[in-house]
A and B are shown apart, each in its own frame.
Chain A
């Protein structure tokens, strides 16, 4: 029996190429992170991703899957990377590894591996860490300005393994957290109008996520539907609150440039496996994540709610898809 194997030609695209493009889009922001906060993030990436690939290989082995093609598909690599840039760079390495474990083993492989996980692996890892280690997870390093020496230090023989001095570095809550607390205490907050010169390091990094995201849209790795609907949703709902009472609520621009808004919009919620496949569904998904995020940020117990919003909306994906199926050619 002959095999009818049409088509005989194929576009050059693989899951690995898709994942590699995502990493490429993340590189500029990594550059800024090192410059502002030191090289520890590089250590986190090396150890964290190495551990993720190690766990991936073990899981594949246990599940009787070929190891090479699945480790090389880059999905574990990207999931680990996203988790690492979502947590403070000064996180103790053992804490980070717990997060990685939950991402790869529990959220991904326990649910059937790549393509089958209902929840975003990076966000599951993040949520576990945030709930279990709230103090570690809300203390972010403070930048003392962009230091070129941060790069040079990294190349001094494995200096990143010697993390003592980094632990001594100044830490603080994120601006989102600080201002929320101040507003909660009823204190006057003087937020400067946003201009390029006043951008804090975290905001500059956020802008680079935005640019990296545009690159992904340009490369057609993602479509504009998810990021745009999330960004507009956060902007819209935070504007409602802001115009209702400017002294108690943060400005919409502040919401966009702080926390994980741009990272989530372009890199987290665009995980194809755990987001809706229909265009209408994507828009609904993005809008609802935005709404839940604004609610958690303003009224919830955590400084940033995107991770929880994403996980909650992941559960709703089958329902969203069911009600947003587009019409087939000739049935409109």
Chain B
């Protein structure tokens, strides 16, 4: 990949008010250890890890609570020392509002670390490192929560891109982390370059973070292999494929992945946790959460995983009955329950403002004004997607209008003068299509089975006929004559008897 200073501006995008400065006034804050930590067992994409502790057991900070069971799986750790008091279904921060298995720990306030062997990079082979990574609990902390070790197991990567765009309004956790944890951040980048055996990495950062840019530039002044590329503030520049285009001028469709082009993208928080793991033997037990919105004291918090979010909201000057969005205002979702705890995916808690609550929801018909087309960063035709989703023409949606290239960034809904919740229509159509594909798979299997049954019946019939024919063929001509003669003799005998009787 040719590296250049040029910025490739992508099509579309929007410039909503950032509201970023309200949560960057003060340094990242830490709260006292909460009395109870409620840690969901699975906080990643992939298989549910195996629980290794039991109720009543004392656990230490950094101890593994659940172990990965397959390649696509990740470990879950205890964020402080204390006693496991429950392993049960609990509310979790998920849009479905459905509960999931959680481990509740009553902390003892000692915050006692488990003894971890220090990882010696120089002595470990890449395979061993990879194994070690599986137990680090590191997942994509930008919100995708895909187990990170899988992204590091590749020898095809040529370019490492660090996604520091943080394009969603209100969210500032990466910005603050880069300012305060610069060293760990750069360590994380270096270790990743090491593992992937690549000479160069580029940090993509939006120009609305001058302090972080300044700090990074000073820290990297001697470095030749890590460069910074300042990109304009346009939402959604932080979308992986949009960022790749901004920085490299390469457009990647849904059909391909960045890895196919030798590109791997990592989020700031993920790299910091990589740095912490390899240089300080620390698994993921905390993360930085932006707590912002309609609160008296918005701030960033370094929160232990499992911290009840109400403790953060209370400290930021909010009240328990406020509506909270997890994530940013563009792609985040309203928490169905606000008595949940901090997870690895939680980058922002946004207390809904009056504007958000009073959003006009009366849906007018689409007037085809194509404001949505003008802002769609995937260069789709949102009005056509809407039309065909509404009329359930799923084939056209996937074939002609590339529905699955939609990244659900919400730009179309943001500008729609008819207040149409476009993203919801696309989500609905996507899930319908996925369901159809699944049920057609099931139907395929059933059809195959039936076809095989018919084939088998046919085959058995054929085999039976063949067997009969064979038997017939085996009885030789001499035998046949004999048989006929015997029958003839029997008939003659019978005739004789009849004649005798008549006489």
Contact = CB atoms under 8 A, between A and B. Distances in A.
Interface of A: 1-11, 13-15, 17-18, 69-70, 73, 75, 113-116, 272-273, 277-278, 325-332
B171 to A, nearest CB: 13
Interface residues of B, number: 63
Nearest to B355: A9
8 contacts: A4-B427, A7-B330, A8-B334, A69-B362, A113-B365, A277-B381, A325-B381, A328-B379
Contacts of A10: 359-360, 413-414, 416, 419
Given A13-B371, A14-B417, A116-B365, A326 B379 contact: yes
B410 A6 contact: yes
Contacts of B408: 6
B182 interface: no
B61 interface: no
Closest 7 CB pairs of A and B: A330-B253, A115-B365, A7-B410, A2-B336, A329-B379, A8-B329, A8-B356
A179 to B, nearest CB: 38
B254 interface: yes
Contacts of A7: 329-331, 410, 413-414, 423
A277 B382 CA distance: 11
Contact of B367 (A15, A325, A326, A327): A15
Contacts of B402: 328, 331
B483 interface: no
A211 B38 CA distance: 64
A73 B364 contact: yes
A309 to B, nearest CB: 20
B62 interface: no
Contacts of B362: 69
Contact of A272 (B360, B369, B416): B369
B270 to A, nearest CB: 23
Contacts of A6: 329-333, 408, 410, 413, 423
Contact of B364 (A4, A15, A17, A332): A15
B85 interface: no
B377 interface: yes
Given A8-B334, A13-B416, 11 more contacts: A2-B96, A2-B334, A7-B410, A9-B329, A10-B416, A11-B415, A115-B364, A115-B365, A273-B367, A329-B378, A329-B380
B251 A332 contact: yes
Interface string B396-430: 00001010010010100111111101011001000
A277 B415 contact: no
B370 A277 contact: yes
B367 A2 contact: no
Contacts of A326: 379, 381
A4 B424 contact: yes
Contact of A330 (B252, B364, B384): B252
B317 interface: no
A328 B253 contact: yes
A278 B252 CA distance: 22
Interface in B357-390: 359-360, 362, 364-371, 373, 377-381, 383-384
A272 to B, nearest CB: 4
Given A7-B331, A10-B414, A115-B365, A1 B254 contact: no
Contacts of A17: 417
A277 B414 contact: no
Contact of B414 (A4, A9, A14, A113): A9
B480 interface: no
B22 interface: no
Interface in B320-339: 325, 329-334, 336
A331 B381 CA distance: 14
Contacts, number: 140
Contact of A3 (B254, B334, B364): B334
Contact of B380 (A11, A114, A328): A328
A329 B251 contact: yes
B95 interface: yes
Given A5-B421, A332-B251, A11 B414 contact: yes
A330 B405 contact: yes
A115 B248 CA distance: 40
A36 to B, nearest CB: 33
A261 to B, nearest CB: 23
B501 interface: no
Contacts of A8: 325, 329-330, 332, 334, 350, 352, 356, 359
Given A2-B97, A329-B241, A272 B334 contact: no
Contacts of B325: 8
Nearest to A282: B370
B100 to A, nearest CB: 15
B431 to A, nearest CB: 11
B365 A114 contact: yes
A75 to B, nearest CB: 8
B99 interface: no
A4 B405 contact: no
A327 B402 CA distance: 10
A169 B252 CA distance: 67
B497 interface: no
Nearest to B356: A8
Contacts of A325: 381, 400
Contacts of A115: 364-368, 418
B169 interface: yes
B334 A329 contact: no
A14 B334 contact: no
A281 to B, nearest CB: 10
Contacts of B334: 2-5, 8
B90 to A, nearest CB: 17
Contacts of B27: none
A328 B378 contact: yes
A330 B365 contact: no
Given A13-B371, A14-B419, A69-B364, A329 B253 contact: yes
Interface string B290-328: 000000000000000000000000000000000001000
A14 B379 contact: no
B400 to A, nearest CB: 7
B56 interface: no
Contacts of A9: 16, 169, 329-330, 355-356, 359, 414
A154 to B, nearest CB: 33
A53 B367 CA distance: 19
A273 to B, nearest CB: 5
B414 A331 contact: no
Contact of B253 (A1, A18, A331): A331
A277 B373 contact: yes
Given A1-B96, A73-B364, A15 B418 contact: yes
B256 interface: yes
A277 B333 contact: no
B11 interface: yes
Q: Counting chain A CB atoms within 10 Å of each CB, which of B331, B377, B383, B414 scores highest?
A: B414
A138 B164 CA distance: 65
A162 to B, nearest CB: 39
Contacts of A70: 364
Contacts of B365: 113-116
A246 to B, nearest CB: 41
A273 B368 CA distance: 5
Contact of B256 (A3, A15, A330): A330
